[in-house]
Structure 1
């Protein structure tokens, strides 16, 4: 019998062919447009809840259901999208995704009440989930392999970070033009332009493979229910208060039960959707804890500055300059990260980012009721720059470690990263808002203890405040009551400022703690490497 042919070696990946610069520029523009479409769609409503609640005749708590409805499906869909893209092809995935977003944007134009708005926002959350993934892919497409995980990754993450400040910059003009429907029209216009880019600029195809099994669907539905319930609890918990509304407890039990059942199913599978054992390994838990801590620390900017100025009675129109500064600092941070990021530099970049956040948060902790946006330009620019510095090295190092374990671990890693960013962002906002509420009550009680009408200074202050009503109220008792109400408002405002200062100081302390922990970790790694050298020499 003739000898069997030796097995053929695996085919090498095709060499990278540089993309013509017009097409590369178009891909980068498409990435920016897709990221802005997703970011503005998520943040335009969040940044304008006060105006939106007026359009629908809702309370502030009822209007927040719009945010919860958007985030509930959005936080888990990345898990399904990666496998859908692999099984059905990248072009089909891209075109159907953007078409779904266009459809959801069209529905926004026909919203007339809060209930229909909540339903449409739920659909928008589903449709917007692929946008960030497409933004990543279009930015990585033009770069050679050695540049994808530093320059491409930094620029892609920077694009995604631009939606929040840009929403607060442009929304006042949009609301003046047409209220809620002007916001919806902008979202629709961006979606249509993005659809044209995706249709005219197809991404490089990837091999198809049948990767979705029946148990994948079951596990995903359980994870989606669990993450969605957790997202609703994190968005609404500080408004209904955590221990006051029974439905929050029911949702929390549902979240824990669903994720637990999904984990049990995955542990018993040969080819699981998620490798639970790897996810609970010490390195991955350490990575998740670091990302969650970063999201909590970064809530100083996403929830702190905007919340402080809202408590002081300022609107988006008055804080526009601050968000222009934040936008510019975010771009500068992303470009700086792309310039300096290399393998092995991640811990040093994280040290710089944590130090900058600690400095910026400490500067903000000295705010008063007379603080205005221009007083925070420097501190918020420092924090925005640091935020753009932190994420790309974290994603790059985590992705490299997952690749070393094998391609099957990429999906699990992506879930870790996106979950810490979506649910972690909601957790950071919830923790920050809860802390501020508790400290506001504490400071209010202290301030009110010293406010008594028998005190001549307090009586004089009430008389001064009630003088504003002298021309419209002739009854001195009513005037005194109005003066007392104004004094109570001032006390509440001062208590809010003190509470935000406490929160900023805690954020600075957390950043310093993380800085010290990272420094110790780097020192321990360096010491182990130094000790390993003599041992290797002796054994040789």
Structure 2
């Protein structure tokens, strides 16, 4: 008896438009919430009477929940049905947004943020799967362009939107803004999203409970190390050392468990697909570069130039709009048969150029005008990178493999961003100390130029009414602050240079290891 093909999930007309918009908005909500909170931390701290370390858990809890749930998303979708799981995730995210805004103490807020992250992490990956399967194979590049736009726009919109809300309202409204959008998205998901028939629920005896435990402990330990390592002085902290050992131990046993168990929660075997394997690596590198550069620019503009969070966020808006303009162009090039590896290689080269230009323009007085064209170059590079990587990763997957591949890509992009922020934070701290030591070594107190500068500053202090001794101390303090500022600036320059070199080094590997394939999809093949 001939096996009947499963019903297609491809949509047409208004249904596809509604499903795509719903999925993109949900992905956008999730990503915006990873960055919008950053600018509200001082207000939360004052309102809830929390310490700096306590309030930082508002960010950490959300990230922990994300990295735990993302790799499990495909399995959970099979257990509950994609439509039900997606709609439930939207509802959980929306309810927890309300609860976050109504939290009366810091630990209430942390718990609700963790639960919000559990819903949000599912939105990110399931949205990509829904969009991919709602479009026909020959138009998958366009589908990925639409999804990737949300992934790129989210981190950029968070800070300026959060800054505007904080300046004009209060911090609970950064959560309340999710509620009307979430309610509408849940209703549309229940009405229009369909569950594929290949998804089969497993009995309780078939559920890989040990796999869930190993994954949750291993990933959360790793994420904590990345989030808190710099703050706790890395391996000088017994907690960090213990969690590193736990991460290695539990992730090793998680991989072992998934390879031997008949019903794994994460199908590692899907990584046998060469396109997905390379795409997962490139997703990690992209996450490193995107979140790393998104992290450094506000740090530089706010700490050295004195800009507000809203100003820093608005600085990156033209670049984001340029990425949006690039998406349909790149999708069209892919559909016309331009090899994706060449687009990725050019994108990485352009990202290196952006990094090098950023390295050259950083000064204590760099203006928004200096950044404009440099960030446009970044937008051009990200446009060439994002769509080809996403399309290539899922291009040869079918059925349940699409959701599993999207889970891997999403997880590696998140971990790439976490590694990027953690390593860059540590690098900036270490390089600042190194540059400071070098600069101080050149400040010889017997040097006439140094003495003249101290005398000039001291005279300025005396003119303000300070006695000679105090004026001398303040003069030295000003010089010390100037040295620290210069050292910090040099460390930011180093970050851009080394991130750019990392992308440039990847170019020959992309050209060598990504095989050129026939990108124009045969419509007869696509129908099967």
Secondary structure class of the residue paired with 1:162: helix
Match of 1:204 in 2: 194
Q: Which has the higher mean CA deviation after the structures are superposed, 287-296 or 329-338?
A: 287-296
Match of 1:351 in 2: 345
Q: Does 1:515 align with 2:507?
A: yes
Deviation at 1:354, TM superposition (A): 0.6
Q: Does 1:329 align with 2:322?
A: yes
Task: Point out the structure with max Rg over C-alpha.
Answer: 1
1:54–1:447 distance in 2 versus 1, CA, 3 Å: farther
Unaligned runs of 5+ in 2: 517-528
Match of 2:142 in 1: 151
What CA distance in whole angstroms lies between the structure 2 residues aligned with 1:154 and 1:515?
22
What CA distance in whole angstroms lies between the structure 2 residues aligned with 1:37 and 1:360?
28
* TM-score, normalisation: structure 2: 0.88
Deviation at 1:215, TM superposition (A): 4.6
RMSD, aligned α-carbons: 2.9
Match of 2:174 among 164, 172, 183: 183
Aligned partners of 2:44 and 2:171 also within 8 Å: yes
1:273–1:25 distance in 2 versus 1, CA, 3 Å: closer
1:216–1:139 distance in 2 versus 1, CA, 3 Å: same
Match of 1:168 in 2: 159
Match of 1:486 in 2: 478
Higher relative contact order (CA 8 A, sep 6+): 2
Deviation at 1:258, TM superposition (A): 1.4
What CA distance in whole angstroms lies between the structure 1 residues aligned with 2:348 and 2:316?
21
Match of 1:86 among 68, 78, 81: 78
Q: Does 1:375 align with 2:370?
A: yes
Deviation at 1:408, TM superposition (A): 6.2
What CA distance in whole angstroms lies between the structure 1 residues aligned with 2:84 and 2:36?
28
Deviation at 1:227, TM superposition (A): 0.7
Q: Which has the higher mean CA deviation after the structures are superposed, 9-18 or 412-421?
A: 9-18
Deviation at 1:451, TM superposition (A): 2.3
Unaligned runs of 5+ in 1: 1-6, 527-540
Q: Does 1:399 align with 2:391?
A: no
Q: Does 1:457 align with 2:452?
A: no
Secondary structure class of the residue paired with 2:202: coil
What CA distance in whole angstroms lies between the structure 2 residues aligned with 1:36 and 1:353?
23
What CA distance in whole angstroms lies between the structure 1 residues aligned with 2:103 and 2:458?
44
Aligned partners of 1:70 and 1:121 also within 8 Å: yes
Secondary structure class of the residue paired with 2:171: helix
Aligned partners of 2:215 and 2:251 also within 8 Å: yes
What CA distance in whole angstroms lies between the structure 2 residues aligned with 1:353 and 1:225?
36
Match of 1:413 among 391, 405, 425: 405
Match of 1:364 in 2: 358
Q: How does 1:27-38 map to 2 (within 5 A)?
A: 27-38=19-30
Secondary structure class of the residue paired with 1:34: helix
Deviation at 1:445, TM superposition (A): 0.4
Aligned pairs, how many?
513
What CA distance in whole angstroms lies between the structure 1 residues aligned with 2:386 and 2:227?
23
Deviation at 1:452, TM superposition (A): 4.1
